[in-house]
């Protein structure tokens, strides 16, 4: 039954880090490998969804049947997401978007002249919040990477960003989360929640999509 669970649905997923260029050779980024988001795209396609993956710079092969758009920065990820958004039924933001970017990328390599260097940074656009704020938004799922008070912070994000569901990585356990092959999620929605135990990311992705499909069907009913 899983193979047709998302048949006829259109799913848009972000994955990986973003890189915010400082100059032609340096950037600000984070430790996302893209594995979680790519596993979600692979699972969505396997469940029958027409799947689009907007990926930051990662070294991963495109899952079968998934259409992929590569981007580098948060600004480019926002553009690609907004361009692909019309007609989507589900949006999942698994990317670890850089929160701040250099106010301006230097055209030439910055020289090591001073003992210290100060970079002016500006906030990047919050892609998830922007999608969730739209009147015609799809079912919208965010991720949360928290180190403490996971449920309180995740539920705060659920409400503040007006999400339908949030998946909080269970952190503080070795071998999970960023870069790892395994993950574990605490998933919350307005009137409920569920735990997805430690498992390889493809299995965690499959379980999360089953929960999402349950909630989407519940809402449609
Ligand atoms: O890529 P992997 O190595 O497999 O690791 C997976 C992961 C840990 C990166 C993934 O499971 C995950 O948690 N992704 C989101 C990490 C994150 O950036 O969390 P956050 O709490 O900073 O952001 C909250 C949500 O807002 C996320 O859905 C994020 O995609 C979204 N966001 C954040 C900032 C921004 N400017 N735009 C956004 O859309």
> What is the ipTM score, two decimals?
0.98
* CATH no. for 2-102+119-220: 3.40.50.10300
Give the integer Cα–Cα distance in Å for 66 and 38.
Answer: 9
Per the annotation, does 38 bind a ligand? no
Nearest-CA residue for ligand 1 atom 17 is: 96
Per the annotation, does 178 bind a ligand? no
Task: Return the CA Rg of the chain.
Answer: 18
- Listed in sequence order, the residues at least 6 apart from 135 whose beta carbon sits closer than 8 Å to its beta carbon are none
Which position among 21, 23, 26, 30 bears the catalytic label? 30
Centroid of ligand 1 to alpha carbon of 16 (angstroms): 8
**Digit-coded pLDDT (tens) for 165-216:** 999 998 777 788 888 999 999 999 999 999 999 999 999 999 999 999 999 9
Centroid of ligand 1 to alpha carbon of 112 (angstroms): 33
What percent of the chain is predicted at pLDDT more than 90?
A: 88
Are 188 and 168 contacting, i.e. CB atoms less than 8 angstroms apart?
yes
Burial of 83 (0-12, 13-18, 19+ CB in 10 A): exposed
**Digit-coded pLDDT (tens) for 109-142:** 999 888 999 999 999 999 999 999 999 999 999 9
Residue 30 annotated among the catalytic residues of the structure: yes
Centroid of ligand 1 to alpha carbon of 27 (angstroms): 18
Per the annotation, does 138 bind a ligand? no
Centroid of ligand 1 to alpha carbon of 136 (angstroms): 23
Question: Per-residue confidence at 152, pLDDT binned at 50, 70, 90?
Answer: very high
Pocket test of ligand 1: the residue of 94, 126, 151 to mutate, having most ligand atoms within 8 Å of its CB, is 94
* Sheet strands (E) in 97-181: 100-102, 121-123, 139-144, 165-169
Are 144 and 127 contacting, i.e. CB atoms less than 8 angstroms apart?
no
What percent of the chain is predicted at pLDDT more than 70?
A: 99
pTM: 0.97
Pocket test of ligand 1: the residue of 32, 33, 75, 154 to mutate, having most ligand atoms within 8 Å of its CB, is 32
């Amino acid at each position: 039954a899983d193979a047709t669970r998302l048949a006829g649905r259109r799913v848009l997923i972000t994955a990986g880090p973003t890189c915010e260029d400082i100059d032609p050779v340096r950037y600000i980024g984070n430790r996302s490998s893209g594995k979680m988001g790519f596993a979600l795209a692979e699972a969505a396609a396997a469940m029958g969804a027409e799947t689009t993956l907007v990926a930051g710079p990662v070294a991963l092969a495109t899952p079968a049947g998934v259409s992929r758009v590569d981007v580098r920065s948060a600004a480019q990820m926002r553009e690609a997401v907004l361009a692909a958004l019309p007609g989507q039924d589900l949006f999942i933001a698994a990317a670890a978007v850089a929160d701040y970017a250099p106010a301006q990328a230097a055209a030439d390599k910055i020289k090591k002249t001073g003992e210290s260097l100060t970079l002016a940074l500006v906030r990047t656009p919050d892609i998830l919040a922007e999608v969730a704020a739209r009147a015609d938004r799809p079912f919208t799922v965010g991720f949360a990477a928290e180190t403490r008070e996971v449920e309180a912070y995740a539920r705060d994000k659920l409400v503040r960003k007006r999400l339908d569901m949030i998946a909080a990585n269970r952190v503080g356990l070795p071998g999970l989360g960023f870069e790892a092959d395994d993950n574990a999620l605490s998933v919350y929605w307005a009137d409920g929640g569920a735990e997805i135990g430690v498992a390889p990311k493809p299995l965690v992705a499959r379980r999360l999509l089953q929960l999402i499909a349950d909630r989407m069907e519940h809402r449609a009913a």
